[in-house]
Each structure stands twice: as structure tokens, then as C-alpha cells.
Amino acid sequence: MLAIATKLTKINYDYEKLLEINKNVSKSFDYHVIDAETTLLDEKILENLKKAVLTVQSKRMDSFELLEKYASYDFDICVVLGNRAYLSKKEANFQKTRIIDVLEKAITYKNKIWVGTEGVENLAKDFIEKNDLISYYVYGCENPDISSKKAIYIPYVEKMDENILNSMKNYLGRRENYHGNWQDFIVSLDDLKNEDLNKFKDHIIVGYPINQDYENILNFKNKFLGK
């Protein structure tokens, strides 16, 4: 299964643009993962999204309210620990165990639940396995030793250049084992080989197009489906 991820910060919270991307992605992909670093609450937007996976940062003060809101729609919900850059000081100081509290609430709803495992692999393992959730990890990080359906987040470009690499500096800097080896964390479609694709044949493959144009989005599908 194939998906495309969109970060609202990268489209400057242009919700009309989000709906346009969602319309195109939902025609060609199984999922559209929307990484809302801040809350996405506009009901006119939410009710028009198709095949969406909405992100809830468990360390946010309003994470339980967001769960309740998103659960009222036909969305999958992805619970992650939370990016400190988008958290208040108080939120950032919450214990990692808060993600389990949020997950316990999440499974009371009918929605399918994904779990971002980066930083909480061991903490969340038993809960994910017991409740048959989807473990969602980042390309370049170790495939977590969790018996579950897997999804992998893969940032990609058609061809890497210095400007694109600079634009991903913060992302790469957050990866624990990054030492200038960008090729281990970002896929260049030009350099992708069949043996690379085979590693993820049982995964939901979530491509994050660093360049957000629709042609680049379709290139990801064509590469992974061999068309």
C-alpha cells in the first residue's frame, strides 16, 4: 500500500492547497497522511478530506480533545510523541509515558490507529502488539522489533541537490544516527534500486515529497509500482 505525507508547515497552512493535494492524492494512493504540527480544527476542511490519516501529538495539552474530534470522522489516527519545536515548555516536559495514556483513549474509538514509534519503541511495543495497531517508523531508523503491521515514512526527491539538502537540515539533525549520511534518511528516486524496494514490500509506504508538486508525487507511485 502506498501513501503520501503532507506537512502543513511546508504549504504555509494553506488549507485550500491542502484540499487540492488531498483530492489528487486520494485518487492515486491508499492514504494521505497529514502531519499537522499544530492543530487542524477547521470542520469545513476536515469534512472534505478523503483517505486521511491525521496526526495527534500525545504531548500536546489538547491531545485528548483532538482524538475525540478526529474520531468523529472517517480518518485513521496517527499518535506520535510530539516534536519539541511545536510544543510549549510545559508540554515538552511531559513524560514519554503520556503516549500510552493517549493510546488507551484512542483505542476506545472505531478508527484505525497508527503509532509513531520513534523514541518510544520499547515503551509502546507491548501496547501495539496487544491491540493490533500499526507501527509507523522513519526511514533510516531501525525497523522496530514489533510484531504488527508496519508503515514507513520516506522523505524523497527525484534527484538530490544542495538546496534540497539544506531545506532538510533540521529534519536530519533530529535523527540520532545522522552524521552527514543523508542517503540513509532521504531517498533519491533516481538512485533507488529494486532491492531497496523489496525491503518494504509488506509495509504501508508513506512518501514525503520534499518538492510538493503533483508530478513529483506521482513519480513516487510510478517508481514503487514500477510504472
With b for 16 or more beta-carbon neighbours within 10 A and e for fewer, the 156-175 pattern comes to bbbebeeebeeebeebbeeb
Identify the domain containing residue 26 by its residue range.
Answer: 2-225
Per-residue pLDDT at 200: 82
Per-residue pLDDT at 96: 95
Provide the CATH number for the domain around residue 132.
Answer: 3.20.20.30
Q: Is 32 exposed, middle or buried (0-12, 13-18, 19+ CB in 10 A)?
A: buried
Distance CA 217, CA 202 (A): 21
When divided into structural domains, the chain yields a total of: 1
* Residue 227 confidence class, pLDDT cut points 50, 70, 90: very low
Check whether 188 has a pLDDT greater than 80: yes
Q: Which helix (H) or strand (E) holds 128?
A: helix 121-131
Per-residue pLDDT at 226: 63
Distance CA 115, CA 212 (A): 25
Distance CA 196, CA 176 (A): 22
Query: What one-character DSSP code corresponds to residue 225?
Result: H
- 84-113 pLDDT, tens digit per residue, is 878 889 998 899 999 999 999 999 999 999
First to last CA, the chain: 15
Give long-range contacts, CB 8 A cutoff, 24+ apart: 115-119: 115/78, 115/79, 115/80, 116/55, 116/78, 116/79, 116/80, 116/81, 117/144, 117/146, 118/80, 118/81, 119/81
Check whether 185 has a pLDDT greater than 50: yes
- The type of residue at 188 is S
Distance CA 182, CA 135 (A): 23
Residue position matching grid coordinates 496487544: 130
Q: Which residue has the higher pLDDT, 193 or 12?
A: 12
* Residue 208 confidence class, pLDDT cut points 50, 70, 90: very high
Contact 95, 88 (CB under 8 A): no
Task: Quote the mean pLDDT of the chain.
Answer: 90
What are the backbone dihedrals phi and psi of residue 16, each rounded to the nearest 5 degrees, phi first?
A: -65, -40
How many Cβ atoms are within 10 Å of 28's Cβ, its own excluded?
15
- 132-159 pLDDT, tens digit per residue, is 999 999 998 877 889 999 999 999 988 8
Among candidates 134, 136, 127, which has minimal Cα distance to 111? 134
